[in-house]
Amino acid sequence: MKTKQEQTIPLLDDISRSLFNTIPDPFIVVGEDGTYLEVLGGTERSLYDDGIPLKGKNIYGFMPKKFADFFMGQVHHTLESGKLNTFDYQLETEDVTLTTKNGPGGTQWFEARMYPLEKPYQGQRAVSVLIINITERRTLHKQLRDLSNIDPLTGLYNRRYFLQRVSLHLREAGRAHILICDIDHFKNINDTYGHLAGDAVLQEFASRVREVIKHSRAIARYGGDEFIIAVTNKSDTEAVAIAEDLRIHVASKPFFFQNLELNVHISIGVARVQGPNISSISLISEADIALYRAKASGRNKVCLFTPSMREL
């Protein structure tokens, strides 16, 4: 008579296999040595390649080593913990060695629900794994996240997201420079040529600022015709030079709307901010003062904040 330690789970019968093979998501049994002891289900070809031929093969024989190491780490963790282990992972399906590829292809995201079997299966400890393709879910979540973070007209981030990102950076690095840009005489463009022309100018400005400021998360539409930029790891001189590059780049060639050529200029206020607990108001107040000085000095200028500006 076998002891409890030696008892094993009986192999699946034909009826059980037939039932498992009706489910759209793959259900696999993986031994602690990495062998796929059972491969069942996964019948939805819009979501999965046919994994049935992988039965009896070791994960190191058809998966990239880096992924196989990761997955087997999860297997061993699940066996040791004795609990349900749920985790997400990304997989480049082109890197999987299969005789026939008939699934969606490309980069896919999956959720794995892994649970240890109470008794050995085919002579070794093993886990059962339900695999669920969550690519569409993650894409939807990203779209919803982008809708809440991105200005729909310019495609730049909005003020709320920008302030969150800069506050996080200040907690981690301690300092940055804030650039606030204002399109000179933007109201005249709207009043003279209409709001569609104004929208076209905002969109073209967003395009040009991306050409100068490479890190897109550091740029946001602050509101109306004002834009805000954060640059990090720069001196005052370097930050002002970046602002001057942007001012010149905007003025270097006309903006076009339908058959109109519009000469557009900007004013920019620059200020250094530092400290992990700076408020949103304090974050922009000095750059805003410098912007006011740039506009008061004739516009189409860059102005660096100095403490003496508070007295004026």
What is the model's pLDDT at position 141?
86
Q: Which residue has the tokens 């001189």?
A: 237
Domain 14-140 fold: Beta-Lactamase (3.30.450)
What pLDDT digit, counting tens, does each position of 193-236 carry? 999 999 999 999 999 999 998 776 689 999 999 999 998 888 99
CA angle 195, 153, 249 (to 5 degrees): 85
Residues of the chain with pLDDT under 50: 1-5
Q: Residues near 289 by Cβ (< 8 Å), separated by ≥ 6?
A: 269, 271, 305, 309, 310
Query: Is-contact 133 183, C-beta < 8 A?
Result: no
Query: Is-contact 29 38, C-beta < 8 A?
Result: yes
The residues of the chain that CATH labels 3.30.70.270 are 150-311
Q: Which residues pair with 273 in a beta bridge?
A: 176
C-alpha span between 296 and 306 (Å, rounded): 15
- Other C-beta atoms within 10 Å of 75: how many? 22
Query: Is-contact 113 126, C-beta < 8 A?
Result: no
Query: Is-contact 256 269, C-beta < 8 A?
Result: no
Let me know if 11 is exposed, middle or buried by CB neighbors in 10 A (0-12, 13-18, 19+): exposed
Let me know if 12 is exposed, middle or buried by CB neighbors in 10 A (0-12, 13-18, 19+): middle
Q: Residues near 266 by Cβ (< 8 Å), separated by ≥ 6?
A: 181, 182, 183, 184, 205, 246, 247, 250, 251, 300
Mean per-residue pLDDT of the chain: 90
* The residue count for the chain: 312
Residue 204 DSSP class: H
What is the model's pLDDT at position 217?
64
The alpha carbon of residue 52 and the mean position of all alpha carbons in its chain are separated, in whole angstroms, by 33
Q: Residues near 132 by Cβ (< 8 Å), separated by ≥ 6?
A: 25, 110, 111, 112, 113
The residues of the chain that CATH labels 3.30.450.20 are 14-140
What is the model's pLDDT at position 20?
72
What is the model's pLDDT at position 8?
63
- Give the CATH number of domain 150-311: 3.30.70.270
To the nearest 10°, report the CA torsion of 26, 27, 31, 36.
-40
The tokens of 242 are what? 């970046």
Q: Which amino acid is at 258?
A: Q
What is the model's pLDDT at position 11?
67
What pLDDT digit, counting tens, does each position of 119-166 carry? 999 999 999 999 999 999 998 888 887 778 899 999 999 988 888 888
